[in-house]
Amino acid sequence: MRTQVAIIGGGPSGLLLSQLLHRSGIDTVVLERKTRAHVLGRIRAGILEVGFVDLMQEAGVADRMMRECLVHQGVIIADGDETFNIDFQDLTGTSVVVYGQTELTRDLYDAREAMDGKIIFNAENVEIHGAESDAPYVTYRVDGAEQRLKCDYVAGCDGFHGVSRQTIPGDVRRDFERLYPFGWLGVLSDTPPVHDELIYSSSKRGFSLCSMRSKNRSRYYLQVPLSDRPEDWSDAAFWQELKRRIPGAVAETLITGPSIEKSIAPLRSFVSEPMRWGRLFLCGDAAHIVPPTGAKGLNTAASDIHYLFNALVQVFEERDSEGIDRYSERALARVWKAERFSWWLTNLLHRFPEQDGFDQRMQRAELAFLRENRHAQTVMAQNYVGLPY
């Protein structure tokens, strides 16, 4: 089998790239290690920058999202019982939307199937060959049979544990990483959100976040030690601890209920350079990870897709390699800015085991400066809604 672009990974990044290229007349094949049902069973964040929304519209898959999404014009920052608002609309003239990643991925799958886009599920033992040559190809197994996919370019959208990044030789690749000494315990519940906007709370007991997926489904998070397990936390214990960490006035209005999903995610900052090796291009989690603070994971993947999509159109339609030659440079420039923002917000709001009294006073001073200074709020808002591509 042959295609123009082989895309490894059938998550939102790979599907969005495939959809954009398909609409530009460029043939793709998507290889996904799991089933469609498995991919759609993953619970992920759903805060989308304006750039991501624009890409979905360009891909022709934004109709349901625009009907059902929740528009957020700001966030609430809490320091104990004190709160203040970061008004995105006032500070930047734009906003973000909340639309669950599962629903977004379902929309992309439906669009690909409607256009007879080629997606191969249960593709095992994927290997990338000849990435430095003019004739790369990918081998994989389906139902025990070896398959070969010839292509012009390979897009690695297969996540942190995928094969794409590992294909780049160790003496070429340089990885940068910061591991954080805590995780986020997340609970999903069919309860109305406690507030119309997200609430990021810093407290003496640790960080918490009040978020949502819809008007009737909420997502809440607690900072917990890495040694904790989801089963260590009963629903009652989770709700009790959340109430201790959010402002008292908010806690009084919190509606609790049974959890429908509970998990713990470790926090890390990670970047692998370069994001291109020959005819192989890394996108999203295959190249970089951000802490969930500030919701940049899916959105940094979207900026990668923007740069790669336009570069591939440029090389196929105009025979101009400028876009692919500069892909890694352009993508990494924006990635590092998103990494900085997520790192800053994580350090601002969380309690670290090694913190002393001085460190805690610095956190409070930084929060006070953010609360009192419009310019500081504008910088935060600009980063939250998304820096330009």
Active site residue 288: no
Active site residue 200: yes
Active site residue 243: no
Of 72, 195, 288, 350, which residue is the catalytic one?
Answer: 72
Task: Give the C-alpha separation, 242 to 234, whole Å.
Answer: 12
Of 22, 288, 296, 350, which residue is the catalytic one?
Answer: 296
Beta carbons within 10 angstroms of residue 42's beta carbon: 12
**And the tokens for 324?**
């692919």
Task: Give the C-alpha separation, 261 to 185, whole Å.
Answer: 11
Of 180, 200, 220, 327, which residue is the catalytic one?
Answer: 200
Task: Give the C-alpha separation, 288 to 282, whole Å.
Answer: 9
Task: Give the C-alpha separation, 18 to 155, whole Å.
Answer: 10
Cis peptide before 181 (omega within 30 of 0): no
3-state secondary structure of 137: strand
Task: Give the C-alpha separation, 372 to 366, whole Å.
Answer: 10
Active site residue 72: yes
- Per DSSP bridges, beta strands 153-156 and 5-8 are parallel
**And the tokens for 174?**
């340089």
Whether the Cβ atoms of residue 20 and residue 113 lie closer than 8 Å to each other: no
Query: Phi and psi dihedrals of 340, rounded to 5?
Result: -60, -45
Q: Which residues pair with 223 in a beta bridge?
A: 184
Of 180, 292, 306, 327, which residue is the catalytic one?
Answer: 292
Of 180, 220, 307, 384, which residue is the catalytic one?
Answer: 384
DSSP 345: H
**Residues annotated catalytic, as ranges:** 72, 200, 292, 296, 384
